[in-house]
Amino acid sequence: MAQVPAVWVVAGIAALLFGLVPRASTAASWAVAGVALGLGLFGPALNLGQVVLNVSPFTHVPKVPGPSVPVEPLVWLGVVAVALVVASLVAFRRRDVSS
């Protein structure tokens, strides 16, 4: 369940891409998901810097189970996800879908 806000961020980016560039949204959305998951899985093994690892929303998810789970990163990821969905709705509303 701790991974869900990070998944929402990736889904929000995909929705925003669909609202902005519908023709390229599928490939771009898969690229975003691949980069996010690839950085999370292979970034530490490749000794990438923390700045590069921070690009992935999965980096900000706390490790569970643990003695205490910080809620702040999950809340911030949720806020970012909601902002992305709102931006995607605005972008989709401005598109001409009549033809």
DSSP string covering the chain: -TTHHHHHHHHHHHHHHHHH-TTTHHHHHHHHHHHHHHHHHHTTTTT--HHHHTTSGGGGSPPSSSS---SHHHHHHHHHHHHHHHHHHHHHHHS----
- Asked whether residue 50 is domain-assigned, the answer is yes
pLDDT in tens for each of the 99 residues of the chain? 889 999 999 999 999 999 999 899 999 999 999 999 999 899 999 999 999 999 999 999 888 887 888 889 999 999 999 999 999 999 998 877 665
- Asked whether residue 74 is domain-assigned, the answer is yes
94 contacts 21 by C-beta, under 8 angstroms = no
Q: What is the pTM of this model?
A: 0.87
- Asked whether residue 88 is domain-assigned, the answer is yes
Q: Residue 80: which domain range?
A: 4-16+25-62+70-93
- Asked whether residue 78 is domain-assigned, the answer is yes
The total of structural domains in the chain comes to 1
- Asked whether residue 99 is domain-assigned, the answer is no
- Asked whether residue 98 is domain-assigned, the answer is no
**Distance of alpha carbon 32 from alpha carbon 26, whole angstroms:** 10
Amino acid at 36: A
